[in-house]
A and B are shown apart, each in its own frame.
Chain A
Amino acid sequence: MSPISTGADWDFELLERYDTAIAEVAAEYGLDTYPNQIEIITSEQMIDAYATSGLPVGYPHWSYGKEFIRNEQAYRRGMQGLAYEIVINSNPCIAYLMEENTVTTQALVIAHASYGHNSFFKGNHLFRQWTAADAILDYLVFARRYVMECEERHGATAVEEVIDACHALMPHGVDRYRRPAALSYKAEAARLAQREAYKESQFNDLWRTLPEGAAGQAATAAKKSFPADPQENILYFVEKYSPKLEPWQRELVRIVRKLAQYFYPQAQTKVMNEGWATFWHYTILNRLHEKGLVDDGFMLEFLKSHTNVIAQPGFDSKAYSGINPYALGFSMFRDLRRICENPDAEDREWFPELAGSDWRVTLDFAMRNFKDESFIAQYLSPRLMRDFHLFAVADHVSEDTLRVDSIHDERGYRRVRKLLATQHAQELRVPDVQVVRYDRDGDRSLTLRHIRRRGRPLHDAASEVVLHLRRLWGFPVRLETWEDDIRVGDVVECAA
């Protein structure tokens, strides 16, 4: 077959032809995707999109302005390139392509975003469980409208204060064990109206003064400690129980909480998601080349961008900025395929049930059922650890130097793998802070407890976060630190 195109320029018709070819290959490999929507944008629009974490609609807030200015500045000075694409987990799956890209890059991006990421969004259990791809755009429209209405009614400063406080608590605004109901604009608006109407209809000032019976007093005693169990979703607790919030403020808390929940799976699957998309653009474009649909020039250009994306500088290099999720994820999926197709003795020992299995089934299973932490714990092979020269360093307060804990050798493989997996665990990135007590019958103060593990303290910004929470809560807030059931450290307290 003759190549689809030569040269660097692209037009819409060409994009469609590439998409058709890529879709064909993706179907060959059995990728299951949402329908695609591809939008062409300029670099300025890309910077715009950056500022709102890629969401096409967002409520106005100064922090997005700050993010925008930061990106624009960095881009103008050439300190930072722009991503070739942004992809949104929605149905249809929206991918933004920059107009400056060459036709090769566009094809790469279509394969990467519209087939790689897209199938991941549709298949991975975390996304299936936590995000409603059908409803997210609707909900964003609702959120934006609602925030702007509030600004009109209550003033931009008042709204900003609430949203600032919510943003500070955003990492602590996610449910980890319950599936939220799907949201849509209409349902949300109707529910809101109903909720307010009910509250109004139930309000009766008289009931306040009724004396409590014996049963009531007993109930009060039982309620002494509230909530019965510690609550990890602080924003949810605030939304439900804050004694002072106005209904509209509650709704703002809810909106930020929903957004936090929407991003929750993304943070936990960075390595897998990027790895999966990179693996597929690599596989699909190579297949196109095999079929003769793209020429060698195309492949050279593609491989250049591809190698840039999956570069992993060493820890002592100037370019080092953490483990590159693209590099790690791509290598793991490729390695997995290798283990299935040509396993060696080591692979047979480490992955007896994978060696020699159908790679498509194995990869599909891995993509669907894991998150970064478990994916690494399960599939990182000794060979990859050697390739990456991974080693673990221990930083303990009791020792005055760092100690190399284990390296990529026979004794260290399992330990390094376990540590790398833990490093990608969401639970270890966000400190464990929970609501333990709401003094409903006393001064209405709220007590948070930070469960410290292995002596790792909160950083100084904690006091500011408590201040923000105080603003939301309306009554005193205190933050205690506990380790091994003993209270340690200072109590951060914000009285009035």
Chain B
Amino acid sequence: MLHLIDRRPNGRGKSAVNRERFLRRYKAQIESAVKKMVGERRLSDMEQGGEVRVPKRDISEPSFGFGRGGDREFVLPGNREYVAGDRIPRPEGSGGGGRGNQGGEGGSEDDFVFSLSREEFMQIFFDDLELPNLARTEMGHTERKKSVRAGYSKSGVPSNLSVIRTLRQSLARRIALSGGIAREAELVEAEFAVAVAAGHATRAAELHGQLDRLHRRRNRLPFLDEVDLRYRNRVWKPEPIARAVMFCLMDVSASMDEDKKDLAKRFFTLLYLFLTRKYGEVDLIFIRHTDDAEEVDEDTFFHNTRSGGTVVYSALELADTIRAERFASGWNVYAAQASDGDAFGADPARSARFLREKLLPATRYYTYLELAAPDSQDHSSTLWAEYERVAEASANFAMRHATKREEIYPVFRELFKKESQ
């Protein structure tokens, strides 16, 4: 007597909840592994999932077991040359002989390695980060809509059927349609009573038949008719959304050597991934500058090379122009600037003033990342000094240093940490 069941359609994922629990439990270890990975990765791989190592002892499940030492005997298969009484030198490392899985916890201390999917990786990567001061005020164009209840309709899908409304309709219809019949039946009944009392048998039989027909007519009224059906109706209503634009300003002048450019690009890659993942509706404007600034597309921004002098002011000015032209009202404006701060002459002071007076009042949050060579003692460029004064005066401005690859991610996290924390 066989019972065959096809379980394949049941789906896998039965262990998904347990896997998730495991990840949650070892979140701290996984986070630090992810952080380490970011520094080692090539830019183009930044988005991929990756392998995470957790030291085995951290996740061991202890139980009472035998350790090394003491007297014991064990039986092994595959004897070739030994006879009773032979001496065998103790093998290095293990408690005795190739006792396989019975040797207890002693042996290997390999790390527990497993891979995170891209989703999980990014989740951990950008956990707890957000755009500061984001205001959700604008009635957007038309993309973002919300479905809201809007009364009842006569057509719809079965899952939206409103039973109460439908039955109410059905009841009303039945009352309305049976009213005439009931009145007629009343008359006939009265006549029938008269006929019976008067003893007109044929008349009474005729009336009785009539009464019967009326009853049957009433019974034929359907309990539920198609016209009774009422469905819950929903309509799409536009929803206020947060519209945001991020200006990415990168210095590509000659003083930015390959290392610094790499740092800057790493920073913007993180920013780009973060924004495109967490906020679907963020516009990105890429501006790179030497002694003059230009707006470029994403691909040029990340991959093309260009070189020249440094005029920070040009970039700020361009950003402001674009803002005024395209994002004048109803936008949350953000900007991130990366430079080595190597500006000279009147430029730093002029830039700082421009930033303070024009750009900052119009932006929600402005970050400045200064990149320095790892060996440089003194981080403070002229631009840094000028910007520091700006930072003191305004709340929506933050600046940080970075010299090494490993620093980029922590700095990034600091800049975009959730406010509540």
Instruction: Name A residues whose Cβ lies closer than 8 Å to a Cβ of B.
Output: 12, 15-16, 19-20, 23, 35-42, 44-45, 47-49, 51-52, 60-66, 68-70, 72-73, 92, 96, 99, 156, 160, 164, 167-172, 312-317, 320-323, 388-398, 400-409, 411-412, 416, 419-420, 423, 429-431, 433, 450, 452-462, 464-465, 468
CB distance from B6 to the nearest CB of A (A): 5
| A402 neighbours in B (Cβ, 8 Å) | 87-90, 96-97
In the complex, are the beta carbons of B22 and A457 less than 8 A apart? no
A65 in contact with B8 given A36-B1, A401-B87, A457-B67 (CB within 8 Å): no
In the complex, are the beta carbons of A395 and B18 less than 8 A apart? no
CB distance from B51 to the nearest CB of A (A): 9
A168 vs B68: C-alpha distance when bound (angstroms)? 20
Interface set, chain B 71-100, CB cutoff 8 A to A: 71-80, 82-90, 95-100
In the complex, are the beta carbons of B73 and A405 less than 8 A apart? yes
Given contacts A48-B14, A402-B97, 6 further A-B contacts (CB under 8 A): A62-B18, A64-B15, A72-B114, A407-B79, A419-B75, A457-B68
B299 interface residue, CB < 8 Å from A?
no
Interface string of B31-56 (1 = CB under 8 A from A): 00000000000000000000000000
| A314 neighbours in B (Cβ, 8 Å) | 77-80
A49 vs B13: C-alpha distance when bound (angstroms)? 11
In the complex, are the beta carbons of A456 and B72 less than 8 A apart? yes
In the complex, are the beta carbons of A393 and B76 less than 8 A apart? yes
In the complex, are the beta carbons of B64 and A38 less than 8 A apart? no
| B73 neighbours in A (Cβ, 8 Å) | 392-395, 405, 419
A225 vs B247: C-alpha distance when bound (angstroms)? 77
In the complex, are the beta carbons of A423 and B75 less than 8 A apart? yes
A410 vs B54: C-alpha distance when bound (angstroms)? 51
Interface set, chain B 1-43, CB cutoff 8 A to A: 1-8, 10, 12-15, 17-25
In the complex, are the beta carbons of B79 and A408 less than 8 A apart? yes
CB distance from A481 to the nearest CB of B (A): 11
CB distance from B26 to the nearest CB of A (A): 8
In the complex, are the beta carbons of A322 and B115 less than 8 A apart? no
A38 vs B61: C-alpha distance when bound (angstroms)? 33
CB distance from B27 to the nearest CB of A (A): 11
A433 vs B66: C-alpha distance when bound (angstroms)? 11
B158 interface residue, CB < 8 Å from A?
no
Contact pick for A39, options B5, B22, B96, B113, CB 8 Å: B5
In the complex, are the beta carbons of A397 and B71 less than 8 A apart? yes
Contact pick for B113, options A73, A403, A407, A408, CB 8 Å: A73
CB distance from A88 to the nearest CB of B (A): 13
Residue ID in chain A nearest B87 by CB atoms: A401
Contact pick for B18, options A12, A35, A61, A407, CB 8 Å: A61
Residue ID in chain B nearest A23 by CB atoms: B2
A235 vs B140: C-alpha distance when bound (angstroms)? 61
A457 in contact with B70 given A65-B18, A322-B99 (CB within 8 Å): yes
A431 vs B78: C-alpha distance when bound (angstroms)? 29
| A423 neighbours in B (Cβ, 8 Å) | 74-75
B280 interface residue, CB < 8 Å from A?
no
| A462 neighbours in B (Cβ, 8 Å) | 62, 64
In the complex, are the beta carbons of B61 and A401 less than 8 A apart? no
CB distance from B387 to the nearest CB of A (A): 44
A60 in contact with B63 given A16-B2, A321-B101, A392-B74 (CB within 8 Å): no
Which stretch from B102-110, B205-213, B251-259, B332-340 is at the chain A interface? B102-110
In the complex, are the beta carbons of B72 and A65 less than 8 A apart? no
A15 vs B102: C-alpha distance when bound (angstroms)? 39
A465 in contact with B10 given A16-B2, A38-B4, A321-B101 (CB within 8 Å): no
CB distance from B234 to the nearest CB of A (A): 31
In the complex, are the beta carbons of A401 and B77 less than 8 A apart? no
Contact pick for B70, options A15, A60, A397, CB 8 Å: A397
In the complex, are the beta carbons of B75 and A390 less than 8 A apart? yes
In the complex, are the beta carbons of B21 and A60 less than 8 A apart? yes
CB distance from B15 to the nearest CB of A (A): 4
CB distance from B73 to the nearest CB of A (A): 5
In the complex, are the beta carbons of A42 and B67 less than 8 A apart? no
Contact pick for B75, options A48, A66, A99, A392, CB 8 Å: A392
In the complex, are the beta carbons of B64 and A315 less than 8 A apart? no
A461 in contact with B84 given A44-B12, A168-B61 (CB within 8 Å): no
CB distance from A323 to the nearest CB of B (A): 6
A38 in contact with B5 given A168-B63, A401-B88, A465-B64 (CB within 8 Å): yes
Residue ID in chain A nearest B65 by CB atoms: A459
CB distance from A60 to the nearest CB of B (A): 5
A465 vs B80: C-alpha distance when bound (angstroms)? 41
B-side interface residues, number (CB < 8 Å): 68
B59 interface residue, CB < 8 Å from A?
yes
Residue ID in chain B nearest A398 by CB atoms: B71
B222 interface residue, CB < 8 Å from A?
no
| B13 neighbours in A (Cβ, 8 Å) | 48
| B66 neighbours in A (Cβ, 8 Å) | 431, 456-459
CB distance from A37 to the nearest CB of B (A): 4
B236 interface residue, CB < 8 Å from A?
no
Residue ID in chain A nearest B95 by CB atoms: A395
CB distance from B110 to the nearest CB of A (A): 11
Residue ID in chain B nearest A164 by CB atoms: B61
B344 interface residue, CB < 8 Å from A?
no
CB distance from A447 to the nearest CB of B (A): 15
In the complex, are the beta carbons of B114 and A65 less than 8 A apart? no
A321 vs B64: C-alpha distance when bound (angstroms)? 22
Interface set, chain B 264-318, CB cutoff 8 A to A: none
In the complex, are the beta carbons of B15 and A51 less than 8 A apart? yes
CB distance from B112 to the nearest CB of A (A): 7
CB distance from A390 to the nearest CB of B (A): 6
In the complex, are the beta carbons of A61 and B4 less than 8 A apart? no
CB distance from A174 to the nearest CB of B (A): 13
A45 vs B99: C-alpha distance when bound (angstroms)? 32
A16 in contact with B4 given A404-B84, A458-B65 (CB within 8 Å): yes
Contact pick for A48, options B12, B76, B100, B115, CB 8 Å: B12
A61 in contact with B101 given A391-B75, A459-B67, A465-B64 (CB within 8 Å): no
Give the most central of B62, B63, B75: most A CB within 10 Å: B75
A139 vs B364: C-alpha distance when bound (angstroms)? 58
Residue ID in chain B nearest A460 by CB atoms: B67
In the complex, are the beta carbons of B82 and A407 less than 8 A apart? yes
Q: Which 7 A-B pairs have the closest CB atoms?
A: A314-B78, A456-B70, A459-B67, A65-B22, A322-B100, A65-B18, A461-B62
B420 interface residue, CB < 8 Å from A?
no
A92 vs B1: C-alpha distance when bound (angstroms)? 10
In the complex, are the beta carbons of B25 and A403 less than 8 A apart? no
B69 interface residue, CB < 8 Å from A?
yes
| A411 neighbours in B (Cβ, 8 Å) | 84
A64 in contact with B75 given A12-B4, A315-B97, A461-B62 (CB within 8 Å): no
| A390 neighbours in B (Cβ, 8 Å) | 75-77, 79
B60 interface residue, CB < 8 Å from A?
yes
CB distance from A379 to the nearest CB of B (A): 16
A468 vs B72: C-alpha distance when bound (angstroms)? 29
Contact pick for B19, options A69, A404, A452, CB 8 Å: A69
A41 in contact with B7 given A402-B90, A462-B64 (CB within 8 Å): yes
Ordered by A's residue number, 29 sampled pairs between the chains whose C-beta atoms are within 8 Å are A16-B4, A19-B2, A45-B7, A45-B14, A49-B14, A51-B18, A68-B22, A70-B112, A73-B114, A92-B3, A156-B21, A167-B61, A314-B77, A314-B80, A315-B77, A315-B97, A393-B74, A395-B72, A397-B69, A402-B87, A403-B85, A405-B84, A409-B84, A423-B74, A430-B64, A430-B65, A461-B63, A461-B64, A464-B62
A391 vs B82: C-alpha distance when bound (angstroms)? 8
A159 vs B76: C-alpha distance when bound (angstroms)? 43
A121 vs B111: C-alpha distance when bound (angstroms)? 38
Contact pick for A36, options B2, B23, B96, B97, CB 8 Å: B2
Give the most central of B13, B70, B89, B95: most A CB within 10 Å: B70
A99 vs B7: C-alpha distance when bound (angstroms)? 10
Contact pick for A459, options B17, B79, B105, CB 8 Å: B105
| B12 neighbours in A (Cβ, 8 Å) | 42, 44-45, 47-48
